[in-house]
Structure 1
């Protein structure tokens, strides 16, 4: 079935990167390629993504039913939460101007799947270590640090560097147009375009980054959005161009930089201080950093390494990038709410609180006496108010220690790993949604 849908997509987009016009000489509708055309004539995401963008997270019951009927992935009662579920919800609550054909296609690539998974794991571990460091900082006011404190913090720093490296290797393919991203590079597939589409590329990049931040926030139980946004902007754009942090500092009139003692742990030792125009993002600094890196880290999720050549640490990271969500629990992978039973969450992926019998009977009596108009109140508000009754949504990440003895390979591995299959059915639904929005916009004009 997937192959049949793939053929349909090829037929639907055989006229991609073209525009249509009427030829008076032959009285016929013709099309012309958009390659080597001025940037302002290219059809695409033309609205600039500047300033804060609001996603519709608090929607009423009727909107939730519409989402469940038209766009939600069909799943069985014993199913688990997948990354596709989170992507569908992020796209449904996104502003209509975010829904573009290129955006939908990019979000349903295997390379983007790995990039989002790596970003979720990094953000989860970053928030986890941030809480630990805040607690340790407060304890230092009353205690003297022990010799083992430095060793423990070095382990935290190395773990964060490895997670950043996973994000960096996928991000490099995105900005250089490698592999599946070649089709969307601003210099064309062969990097020979005479007129680069810089404006389209800039808007596309900002849109993808903002949707990824929303996906991470939902996958992590809708917690610590400001911290996630600031850190993701810092990773992808560097501190100088961190719009989220600059706007937050203007509102609060305070410097939001972390405590100097925590900088070395949270940001690592690979930060390169250069002039403003030559500044690279921290992700690029991780790639160019002069340190002892296991070379197999750069091929995790892409190269088919022999299992015996990977340490337990690398096997866990590889599984997080390539295994289906149904195998997360069996392999000890904790990635937010991904892999959790789908029955524990409502349509908007809010946790369904577990109430005591007395509380549930009280809620039943209250619902019987409530008015019909109150049914439009969002289920998200109800679950937020009762979230204190439930336990933690997901477990903390526990990485196996690094193995000092690096496993060597007898020969260079050239076999590629089987990529993650994108959900073509969901992709087709969102492409139809884009078509409906474009038709409505054309009619309004």
Structure 2
């Protein structure tokens, strides 16, 4: 890739490929905007073509019109940044008002968050399985011990717990209650299912979810993510047999898919997410309340999962946990959220100083022997606190702007004005208008600052308790049911 440092009007990402010019006997750079039908421009996800890259003009439009505005965490990568990038790269047929509105709901945000956590651990476990496959084969094969089998069982249970968290968030969506009622496939009066529409709606969401998780996890192991995502939401009967997909042995499948996986006839087959909810162990029941109420108990595993889940993506470095590129500084990434290795080198990261796990590679922590039996003896106490989440609701105007994405791009490409900070300042200096009054400027300033600091005033809450978990501060409010107990 060619990268040129110019002013902020020029794009940050030069997309194209190098080829050898035999006539001039030198290298020649060919931009992707000259390769409209090139294979490198698109990536196919579940049969839909997503843009793999963008040309310089498309990047300028994205940065000016669709990049997340300034907020208290605008200098770090969060889920919204990845979602906006995928919405810009996805096909035109996805851009319906209903689907874009669905992608901006807090329930979908929670599902994407749990999927990122699940696949972060899943890819580590797949790597462990492939390494053990090599160690157990060949002339120098190793012999497995009882401790190895105990460790594998613990890894499988941990992965099932992350899968249970995904299943919980997924069922809140398909239940069709509350804010999800308008996306439910059954019409409220006639009770007739919109089967065809719901089918394409589900297909579109799966394709977008694959892209979001893939980009968040540094664009690695694409086919493993695609295969597992389709298995989670469809079941194995509807996963395509592609040569790029890995083939696991029965023992490896038992390790990766957990003890609740059962295959039936495809007519009565439940997805693996629903199967996880049908048989939940007693010690895993508090996982269903993670993010809804504060866990009170002696199980360190659930306390760790809760801390990992309720910590905002922009503050993951405070608890020394890596979820892909979440919480990483934006200055280390280009517009397509790919690592800018020159910027990484100038940051002077090392094994001793690497808060974002860029130099330190993710790994599996070896559990203690007998940890599953210890968890069965953990104690649970009555909960007193409910967690209150802050979610910025998307306006209808912003959703309509995404729906008109193609027309906006065509307008700017046909001669619409693309401005940067310098050109806007020059235009304002040349203007003869006096501008807004001083009191209006001050009022707008305080309005913006209150939004950045998220100074939400909750008058109907009697008290707000601040709990410190590690280095992260979680805002919780006292539940009415437990006030009498206190």
- In structure 2, relative to structure 1, the CA distance for the partners of 1:407 and 1:420 (3 Å cut) is farther
In structure 1, distance between residues paired with 2:329 and 2:46: 36
Q: Which residue of 1 aligns with 2:125?
A: 129
In structure 2, distance between residues paired with 1:213 and 1:150: 32
Q: Which residue of 2 aligns with 1:194?
A: 191
Instruction: Return the structure number with greater helix share.
Output: 1
- In structure 2, relative to structure 1, the CA distance for the partners of 1:115 and 1:290 (3 Å cut) is closer
In structure 2, distance between residues paired with 1:440 and 1:62: 9
In structure 2, distance between residues paired with 1:79 and 1:316: 27
Q: Which residue of 2 aligns with 1:38?
A: none
Instruction: Return the structure number with greater strand share.
Output: 2
Q: Which residue of 1 aligns with 2:251?
A: 261
In structure 2, distance between residues paired with 1:312 and 1:259: 32
- In structure 2, relative to structure 1, the CA distance for the partners of 1:162 and 1:102 (3 Å cut) is same
Equivalent residues in 2 for 1:203-242 (5 A)? 203-242=200-239
Q: Which residue of 2 aligns with 1:323?
A: 311
Contact kept in structure 2, 1:133 and 1:262, CA below 8 Å: yes
Q: Which residue of 2 aligns with 1:113?
A: 109
Q: What per-residue deviation string (whole Å, max 9, x for no partner) do you get for residues 313-359 of structure 1? A: 3233234433322221112332111011111111110101038999x
Does 1:54 pair with 2:49?
A: yes
Q: Which residue of 2 aligns with 1:369?
A: none
Does 1:429 pair with 2:428?
A: no
Q: Which residue of 1 aligns with 2:329?
A: 341
Q: What per-residue deviation string (whole Å, max 9, x for no partner) do you get for residues 194-253 of structure 1? A: 3222222111111111101100000001111111011000000000012xx33x14xx7x
Aligned with 1:285 (options 272, 275, 278): 275
Does 1:94 pair with 2:64?
A: no
What is the CA-CA distance between 1:256 and the residue it aligns to?
4.4
In structure 2, distance between residues paired with 1:357 and 1:137: 35
Q: 3-state DSSP class of the match of 1:143? A: coil
In structure 1, distance between residues paired with 2:133 and 2:115: 26
Aligned with 1:406 (options 364, 375, 378): 378
Contact kept in structure 2, 1:114 and 1:321, CA below 8 Å: no
What is the CA-CA distance between 1:147 and the residue it aligns to?
2.0
- In structure 2, relative to structure 1, the CA distance for the partners of 1:308 and 1:284 (3 Å cut) is closer
Does 1:152 pair with 2:151?
A: yes
Contact kept in structure 2, 1:125 and 1:160, CA below 8 Å: yes
Count of aligned pairs between the two proteins: 348
Q: What per-residue deviation string (whole Å, max 9, x for no partner) do you get for residues 47-77 of structure 1? A: xx99511211211222112111110113479
What is the CA-CA distance between 1:145 and the residue it aligns to?
1.2
In structure 2, distance between residues paired with 1:218 and 1:256: 20
- In structure 2, relative to structure 1, the CA distance for the partners of 1:78 and 1:436 (3 Å cut) is closer
- In structure 2, relative to structure 1, the CA distance for the partners of 1:107 and 1:51 (3 Å cut) is closer
What is the CA-CA distance between 1:420 and the residue it aligns to?
4.1
Contact kept in structure 1, 2:216 and 2:325, CA below 8 Å: yes
- In structure 2, relative to structure 1, the CA distance for the partners of 1:256 and 1:357 (3 Å cut) is closer
What is the CA-CA distance between 1:82 and the residue it aligns to?
0.4
Contact kept in structure 2, 1:90 and 1:214, CA below 8 Å: yes
Q: 3-state DSSP class of the match of 1:350? A: coil
In structure 1, distance between residues paired with 2:360 and 2:64: 26
In structure 2, distance between residues paired with 1:428 and 1:323: 30
- In structure 2, relative to structure 1, the CA distance for the partners of 1:61 and 1:148 (3 Å cut) is same
RMSD of aligned Cα (Å): 3.1
In structure 1, distance between residues paired with 2:70 and 2:303: 28
Contact kept in structure 2, 1:301 and 1:322, CA below 8 Å: yes
Contact kept in structure 1, 2:298 and 2:380, CA below 8 Å: no
Q: 3-state DSSP class of the match of 1:86? A: helix
Q: Which residue of 2 aligns with 1:162?
A: 161
What is the CA-CA distance between 1:408 and the residue it aligns to?
2.1
Q: 3-state DSSP class of the match of 1:72? A: coil
Contact kept in structure 1, 2:159 and 2:256, CA below 8 Å: yes
In structure 1, distance between residues paired with 2:390 and 2:307: 11
In structure 2, distance between residues paired with 1:138 and 1:262: 13
In structure 1, distance between residues paired with 2:344 and 2:147: 44
In structure 2, distance between residues paired with 1:195 and 1:439: 37
- In structure 2, relative to structure 1, the CA distance for the partners of 1:83 and 1:187 (3 Å cut) is same
What is the CA-CA distance between 1:174 and the residue it aligns to?
1.7
Q: What per-residue deviation string (whole Å, max 9, x for no partner) do you get for residues 369-419 of structure 1? A: xxxxxxxxxxxxxxxxxxxxx9558644659866333332336x6x65323
Q: 3-state DSSP class of the match of 2:49? A: coil
> Looking at CA atoms only, which structure, 1 or 2, has the larger radius of gyration?
2
Runs (5+) with no aligned partner, structure 1: 1-48, 359-389
What is the CA-CA distance between 1:106 and the residue it aligns to?
1.5
In structure 1, distance between residues paired with 2:399 and 2:104: 10
Q: Which residue of 1 aligns with 2:182?
A: 183
